[in-house]
Amino acid sequence: MGTVETVVHQGLMVDKQLVRAPKISQDRLRDMGLEWFYGTSEWDYLSDDLLVLSEDQVAAYQEASEECLDLISRATKHVIEQSKYAELGFNSRVAKLVEYSWNHKGHLHFLGRLDFAGGLEGQGIKLLEYNGDTCSMMPESSALQFEQKMASGFSGNGQFNHIYQDIVKRFTELLDSNPDKHPSLLLSHMGHPEDRLNIDFLYAAAHDAGFEVVDISAIEQVVFSPDEGIFLEKDSGYVKYDFWYKMLPWEYTVNQEPELYDLLEQIIMNDLAIVVNPPYSMIYQSKGLLKLLYDLYPDSPYLLPTYSNPVRLRGRAFVEKPYFGLEGENIRIFDRDNEELESNTGDFGHNPMVYQEYVPLNKDSNENIYQAGVFHASTTNGLSFRRIDGLIIDEDAEFVGHVIE
């Protein structure tokens, strides 16, 4: 095995930007409906630290996010116009639905999160990946991060966090862009506690945005009719919804649930429902997009060299990533001598891989690394961090909030 020191220079220490945050009590979390975040004696998801950022650091994350989103939109247009679906790991059968949703203005992209390395202690910001479909971390990045800020004694506007307000605005824009649709929304999850908490967060925002009917269900309870639309069976009978938000990635539907994909294709193209995020967001989910972005825009200061063959990165440290992966699964990191430094197992090893130049994340003196996540809906609207004492950010990472100095 290689050593961390043989990778490249390590990220600058962030200790002087950390302040202690009072722990949010279990009673307070229960009052907020967020007791799941209290953690256990073995693992606390909510860190007791906050990162203190300067206004310039926050502005740099915003600028990086806006630039990357522009490049992603341009690259997506390129994929669609040039039928580059195979390069992203998709069969050409997705083209019809992707292009339909891209070309119809009512199918707004709703919400996403860009994950970045760097941005602290003078280290340049680099895009690691884009979560452009089933984005999570909304309750903690919005409500809990604000709660930590207030408990720590920082008041006023000392946090880049208008996530909730912007999601309300995006829901309003979704309604305004589809005036022929009834303001009825079904929010569906796959049963995971974290997904359900994100759905609950969206439930409140949808009500504030003016949806008249908002319901929550497990995905297996939803009824799909290619001729009539999307329904939920209740005691009073079947209820129809003109909008459906799903915590089910499009790429999973394409690859694992082809019958469901066919139903959704018919429902959407028959204009029976608006599905959020729209079908073209499956392009955002593919790590093959990282390679395409670098192919198209190699001079961007925010993009890392990314290839389909690790030979192109000979002599440099690099990360192997599956095209479709979650929570750091099936990630491998190699040093410049091609020695494996760290790896995770998982369910995505059968995927094709991309190879991205490794850049060290900022870290503290306890060897924790820090990854920034920047949210966007109508606009870039929030920032939070995850950290872990390793090289791969995975499901064991802690959440770290921030305040602005």
- For 31-84, the DSSP string reads HTT-GGGG--SS--SEEEEEEEE-HHHHHHHHHHHHHHHHHHHHHHHHHHHHT-
Determine the pLDDT at residue 154: 76
CA 197, 172, 279, 78 dihedral sign is: negative
pLDDT score of 87: 95
Alpha-carbon distance 211 to 184, whole Å? 6
The enclosing H or E element of 398 equals strand 398-404
Contact 370/39 with Cβ under 8 angstroms?
Answer: no
pLDDT of amino acid 107: 98
Counting Cα atoms < 13 Å in the Cβ hemisphere of 125 gives 22
Along the 405 residues of the chain, how does pLDDT read in single tens digits? 344 343 433 445 799 999 988 888 889 989 998 888 876 545 688 998 999 999 999 999 999 999 999 999 999 999 999 999 999 999 999 999 999 999 999 999 999 999 999 999 889 999 999 999 999 999 999 999 999 998 888 766 699 999 999 999 999 999 999 999 999 999 999 999 889 999 999 999 999 999 999 999 999 999 999 999 999 999 889 999 999 999 999 999 999 999 999 999 999 999 999 999 999 999 999 999 999 999 999 999 999 999 999 999 999 999 999 999 888 888 999 999 999 999 988 888 788 999 999 999 999 999 999 999 999 999 999 999 999 999 999 888 999 999 998
Whole-number pLDDT of residue 380: 97
What residues pair up with 298 in beta bridges, in sequence order?
none
Q: Tell me the per-residue pLDDT of 248-297, one tens digit each, with 9 for 90 and over.
A: 999 999 999 999 999 999 999 999 999 999 999 999 999 999 999 999 99
Report which DSSP code applies to 141. I
> Would you state the torsion angle of the CA atoms of residues 278, 70, 290, 111, taken in this order, to the nearest 10 degrees?
-40
- Residue 305: name the closest of 319, 324, 326, 325 by CA: 319
Residue 24: what pLDDT? 87
In whole angstroms, how far apart are CA 264 and each of 152, 213, 223, 229, 251? 46, 21, 11, 9, 13
Instruction: List pLDDT tens digits, range 212-255.
Output: 999 999 999 999 999 999 999 998 899 999 999 999 999 999 99
The residues near 55 (Cβ < 8 Å, ≥ 6 apart) are 404, 405
Question: CA 293 to CA 46: how far, in whole Å?
Answer: 33
- Decide: 261 and 253 in contact? Cβ < 8 Å: yes
Output the pLDDT for position 36.
86
What pLDDT score does 40 carry?
56
Residues ≥6 apart with Cβ < 8 Å to 72: 130, 132, 284, 289, 293
How far apart, in Å, are the Cα atoms of 279 and each of 67, 254, 377, 380?
Answer: 23, 10, 16, 21
Report the pLDDT value the prediction gives residue 44, as an integer from 0 to 100.
80
CB 15 within 8 A of CB 364: yes
